[in-house]
Chain A
Amino acid sequence: MNEGWLALLQQALSLLFSLDPEVWSIVSVSFSVSFAALLITLLPSMILGFVLAFGRFPGRWFITNLIQTLQSIPTVVIGLLVYLMLTRMGPLGDLRWLFTQKGMILGQMLICAPVLVAMSQAAFTSVDRRAWETSRTLGASWIRAIWTLCRELKVPLLMAVVAGFSRILTEVGCSMMVGGNIADVTRNIPTAIALETSKGDFAQAIALGLVLLILSLVLNFALGILRGKAEPRSH
């Protein structure tokens, strides 16, 4: 048996660097689906986060807590919900979205949105309310005032985006149930890792795991650098 750790790692790296088409098809499914889900959810979620932070209306407390709760719902439960909606007999069955990328995007949107809303709400809440009111009384338009705010909150808002993106890029439960892990169509990194491990083919699983690991290192270090610039270490 030549399947020592090192041999496996070597195989994994050679899969990655030889641009193995199967591995890269999986990576591209993962990224295109998760980017689409993120892009569609981003703006509405940020707006909701902003409204919850600045608005004063009945039900605000309830919605805030509801979103906090939704953040911690296991992705398999969301997968189940989406599955039941999209199955042939389900209310959205006629769309025929089950086991397609569209279905996966829908599921990931539902997973991503609560994270984005909650984290952007926290970010908007952290600024001084008066700054907002001042810029408004100085005659800044809505759009302009929000833009200023967003620029000020660049780092925490980006953190929200990274957190939301990481959550959907790495979740396996919903993608497996709704996407069905179809090769070259709905097989993304997490479902492929689950499959390869269940087959006992670890090299490809490790290669894909490395992609996720490297990505999360890059994202987090980039954020770290950004944060370092925004808050100079001055004491």
Chain B
Amino acid sequence: MLNLKSVFSIALAITLITGMPAHAEEIIKLATTTSTENSGLLKNLLPKFEAESGYKVQVIATGTGKALKLARQGDVDVIMTHAPAAEAKFVDEGYGLLPRGIMMNDFVILGPKNDPAKIRSSKTVEQAFAKIAKSGETFISRGDNSGTNMKELIIWKNAKVDPSFTGYKSVGQGMGKTLLMANELQGYTLSDRGTFVAYQAKLDMAIDFDGGQALANPYQIMLINPVKYPDLNHEGARALSDWLIGAEAQGMINSYKVKGEQLFKATYSE
């Protein structure tokens, strides 16, 4: 006799089997940061890769911290992040393989247009941070363990300032929301240039400090160790990584513009 439970499980099994794509292998799950997704870069690159390779890429856009966590738990096939120290640790611990720097952009310190903490005259980014802390002005921190947040904390450490002064606000939001909050509160914040360009029209803020090389923001793509998680789509992950370092993708990264500004600089060289 068929009871309700077995009918349900059979129905569920059928749904699962027929509902799955014919080749589950063809999906690549990419965990990456909100900056690559929000800037529109991935929407520009990935359709080309999908057309050429036949793979389908599903993007999970989150902070770098969460992306690394997802990879560590074997929930995604490949990751693209921007936090060199955390990435090195990920590789050292045997989770990540074949880190490749595919592109970079840079961070800038945004603040009120009249620069009340007078950071424009600073020589180094550490000096600029120290001035903000001393001035009593507001500083908005992402506070979400993202690549930008990690970079910011390293700068505080190098500047020998404890980021717990009164004006320091840790908001735990994505880059875009953080910019809007900094704008509302007329405070300073560390942002990647790309998100600032995308949000510029909505903000009454300016780049108060432009650090050049010291604020470089390199992005790496990493594969996940098949020894840890044998059942991931390692072939697809490798294909994506190989394609991104190829001449075509590197060229597309360089020519990608938002509002007339180049956001990322392709950096892969053999």
Contact = CB atoms under 8 A, between A and B. Distances in A.
Interface of A: 1, 3, 87-88, 98-99, 180-183, 185, 187, 191-192, 195, 198-201
27 contacts: A1-B72, A1-B73, A3-B73, A87-B184, A99-B184, A99-B185, A180-B173, A181-B173, A182-B170, A182-B171, A183-B143, A183-B170, A183-B171, A183-B172, A185-B169, A187-B172, A191-B172, A198-B63, A198-B144, A199-B65, A199-B66, A199-B69, A199-B144, A199-B172, A200-B65, A200-B70, A200-B145
Contacts of B170: 182-183
Contacts of B144: 195, 198-199
A173 B207 CA distance: 31
A87 B180 CA distance: 10
Nearest to A197: B66
Contact of A182 (B62, B63, B169): B169
A198 B69 CA distance: 10
List the 3 shortest-distance A-B pairs measured between CB atoms, nearest first: A200-B69, A195-B172, A183-B170
A84 to B, nearest CB: 12
A1 B66 CA distance: 15
Given A1-B72, A87-B184, A180 B63 contact: no
Interface string B46-87: 000000000000000011011001101100000000000000
A185 B70 CA distance: 30
Interface in B214-228: none
Contacts of B172: 181, 183, 187, 191-192, 195, 199
Which of B65, B143, B171, B181 is most buried by chain A, counting CB atoms within 10 A of its CB? B171
A183 B149 CA distance: 14
B34 to A, nearest CB: 10
Interface string B139-155: 00001110000000000
A198 B181 contact: no
B168 to A, nearest CB: 9
A197 to B, nearest CB: 9
Nearest to B145: A199
A210 B120 CA distance: 47
B209 to A, nearest CB: 23
Contacts of B70: 200
Interface of B: 62-63, 65-66, 69-70, 72-73, 143-145, 169-173, 181, 184-185
A38 B38 CA distance: 38
B156 to A, nearest CB: 15
Contacts of A191: 172
Nearest to B172: A195
Nearest to A181: B172
B158 to A, nearest CB: 22
A88 B66 CA distance: 33
Contacts of A181: 171-173
Given A99-B184, A183-B143, A198 B62 contact: yes
A8 to B, nearest CB: 12
B214 to A, nearest CB: 27
B202 to A, nearest CB: 11
Given A198-B62, A198-B66, A180 B143 contact: no
B65 A98 contact: no
Contact of B181 (A1, A3, A180, A200): A180
Which of B143, B170, B172, B185 is most buried by chain A, counting CB atoms within 10 A of its CB? B172
Given A182-B170, A187-B172, A199-B172, 15 more contacts: A1-B73, A3-B73, A98-B184, A99-B184, A99-B185, A180-B171, A180-B173, A180-B181, A181-B173, A182-B169, A182-B171, A183-B143, A183-B172, A195-B144, A199-B63
Contacts of B65: 199-200
B66 A183 contact: no
B66 A99 contact: no
B62 A183 contact: no
Nearest to A100: B185
A195 B178 CA distance: 13
Contacts of B181: 99, 180
Contacts of B171: 180-183
B166 to A, nearest CB: 11
Nearest to A98: B184
A198 B31 CA distance: 13
A179 to B, nearest CB: 10
Which of B69, B70, B144, B169 is most buried by chain A, counting CB atoms within 10 A of its CB? B169
